[in-house]
A and B are shown apart, each in its own frame.
Chain A
């Protein structure tokens, strides 16, 4: 089989990562750590793997850059059969971010970020320029931080460097294993927001592992929920998962408040608004704001309705009714 050929079986050219019947059984273990799993991940998609510990989500992630060798099946990355190329070469073109960050403590921040470009044989000036660019990108002043050592940085700053390092050689794919899991909740929220903004600009194909369903709902374009027996329970958009959980496991994993959580995912632009801007007075909002953010603004202003720019107006009740599980309300994806 040619490594360059576009694989068959119904895949399209915009598929960046394709897992085909990928499984993992560790020697001596009774059950499979990963059951035969097939997922196509599109170019620029943010896929979150979520589930309780032992569900195989991390193993699945680590099979994509072959830190774990699959027992069966094939993994295609960017049109190449990842299981047949040189593992080190494959990894240099896949960003990798882990919970413990794993910066090399004896190297400066600049050296850490420039590591993969160096492995790829870039020249000194080009690496230096790239490091400056990346530190800027993750919100760390290059002049201040370039020559510091990892120990001199806080956990949140270290993970920013971790993200910068993973992006260094501009890989099309990023694998992230609970990258914000060891960071305090407030900083984690900031990092999640920043990372979403960053992703909107760089459009990487991201596979992201977490055990936190809220993080998954917040970040993912699609979410794959696994149960403790490594079964893929549901693979769908956050809204679809909240609206139509596939089974009891998914329902219990989401926990309470699915309806209210939908408010944080729905955009006001997706709700049926009464046309005619300015008919009612209300708080002016943009169509891409979330319903929960708009509700907050409206209530804080003491108003009872919002005017969505270019769409029309919505009352508080319109917005609250949007949480009701109705098929026609599941519009946004």
Chain B
């Protein structure tokens, strides 16, 4: 059986796992975005706390994902919960890093003028800083998403949802009938998911970047 024959014969299950994969990634990235924005904004006057949280989230990124999933089993068991949790933890660093940098590097003259016109810190954040920082924040979200798409495959090790299942099952019976095709279909599907999301973010970026910034 050729690879394409295998895919067309199993298109239903591959499609189902692909959607699951997409869902779990978007869920984790959504959580990570909310947490990162909250932390970045909440620690504006607490530079030490902010530095500590950034360092922590950066360090977490160095833990091999296979090990992290395993370590979460005793606490969260198997399935969706530990997968989403681990992916969220991984996604935080790029988003937090970019959010902090973006908010810090908004043109000082613009902030000075806004303050001088009588905008309080809340308005400055909402009306000036977040819109101006948004393209960089969005880029952090995009990087996090691509990264997490790959890591999500490892979630299958804790019975997590998604395309990892195809890869793990295929590899575990390598040499058997269609084992390689099965693993390969998972890999290819993950690449497809990553490309789809990348295009999606380019579109979101185009639509949500304030017009005045790219005239």
A interface residue numbers (CB < 8 A to B) = 65, 67, 88-92, 94, 96, 98, 100-108, 115-116, 119, 149-152, 162, 165, 175
Contact = CB atoms under 8 A, between A and B. Distances in A.
A98 B110 contact: no
B114 interface: yes
B48 interface: no
B115 A91 contact: yes
Interface residues of B, number: 23
Interface stretch (B70-78, B90-98, B136-144, B205-213): B205-213
A65 B120 CA distance: 13
Interface of B: 107, 109-120, 123, 127-128, 131-132, 210-213, 215
Contact of B117 (A105, A119, A149, A151): A119
Contact of A105 (B111, B112, B115, B212): B212
Contact of B212 (A96, A98, A108): A108
What 4 A-B pairs have minimum CB-CB distances, sorted nearest first? A102-B113, A106-B210, A100-B109, A92-B118
Given A106-B213, A108-B212, A98 B112 contact: yes
Contacts of B111: 102
17 contacts: A67-B116, A88-B120, A91-B117, A92-B117, A98-B113, A100-B107, A102-B111, A104-B110, A105-B110, A106-B212, A119-B118, A119-B119, A119-B123, A149-B215, A151-B215, A162-B113, A175-B116
Nearest to B132: A106
B137 to A, nearest CB: 14
Decide if the interface of chain B is mainly helix, strand, loop or mixed. helix
Nearest to A148: B215
Contacts of B116: 65, 67, 91, 94, 96, 98, 175
B117 A115 contact: yes
Nearest to B210: A106
A145 to B, nearest CB: 13
Given A67-B112, A149-B211, A150-B212, A105 B132 contact: yes
Contacts of A162: 113
Contact of A89 (B114, B118, B215): B118
Given A116-B117, A119-B119, A102 B211 contact: no
A108 B213 CA distance: 11
B213 A105 contact: yes
Contacts of A106: 131-132, 210-213
A108 B212 CA distance: 7
- B109, B118, B119, B123 interface centre (most CB from chain A within 10 Å): B118
- A91, A92, A150, A151 interface centre (most CB from chain B within 10 Å): A91
Given A104-B212, A150-B212, 13 more contacts: A90-B118, A94-B116, A96-B113, A98-B109, A100-B109, A102-B110, A103-B113, A104-B132, A105-B212, A105-B213, A107-B210, A119-B117, A162-B113
